[in-house]
Amino acid sequence: MVDHKQALQQARENLHVSAVPDSLPGRESEFQEILGHLETALRDATGTCIYISGVPGTGKTATVREIIRHLSQQATAHRGPAFRFVEINGMKLTEPAQAYSILYQFLSGDKVTPKHAADLLEQRFRDPNDDPQPCVVLMDELDLLVTRKQTIMYNFFEWPNRAHSRLIVVAIANTMDLPERVLTNKVSSRLGLTRINFQPYTHQQLYSIVASRLRGLAAFDSDAIELCARKVSSVSGDARRALDICR
């Protein structure tokens, strides 16, 4: 039997924001919607771009990663199409244009400068190629890839529309209207983005998130979780904040 000290230590580990939970309470509908779009694009081997917005701590990245895990398991079991996956995080780039180099190196294995990579990717997605596997790109922290000319955001949104690209871009940002603000309405409307907005978590959802990570541990009184969930939901609805407070 786990003693109270051990239970508290295990709770600290389970409540860490980097811990991978068994489930994602409160995002079931968003999970199914994004999964449906990705399954269709992978099955048809067509490009698409999904733009996901929502304030920090609303489960955007965690949901997409869970979907990718699910699709990868399906592919491994031969119950779904094979694909390649790469994650580009704006926070980890030394400059926005490095996104080109990361994607090109992932696809080809060759390391080139951002400018050369942009030219090679443009050619790759313009012409028919013999690469049968679709590529799913998760562009996280998209807000940090904004540049003066906006060519990076435009290219990553426009390339999936090419007939032979087989490129699927899942872009995550904190603001709902980022494409309109940085690209002009005329351009952004032509790109035909699939948009999904994550609302802040309600106190019931926050309670479920914390409680699910503490299942089987006699570490918390349910009233304590309820108090934390209500306080956080009234301010931000940020699940990471609720997890940190409980830790």
Give the tens place of pLDDT for each residue, 97-153.
Answer: 999 999 999 999 999 999 999 999 999 998 887 777 899 999 999 999 888 778 898
pTM score, whole prediction: 0.89
pLDDT at 185 over 70: no
HSE-up (13 A, CA, CB side) for residue 218: 5
pLDDT tens for 55-99 read 999 999 999 999 999 999 999 999 999 999 999 999 999 999 999
Closest-CA residue to 15 (of 235, 220, 182, 236): 220
Tokens of 74: 């399906």
Residue 11 near residue 210 (C-beta atoms within 8 A): no
Give the separation between CA 241 and CA 71, rounded to whole angstroms.
29
pLDDT at 190 over 80: no
Closest-CA residue to 138 (of 46, 65, 45): 65
Give the separation between CA 38 and CA 40, rounded to whole angstroms.
5
The pLDDT, as a whole number, for residue 41 is 94
Residue 49 near residue 193 (C-beta atoms within 8 A): yes
pLDDT at 2 over 60: no
The pLDDT, as a whole number, for residue 150 is 81
Domains of the chain and CATH, by start? 4-23+201-246 (1.10.8.60), 28-197 (3.40.50.300)
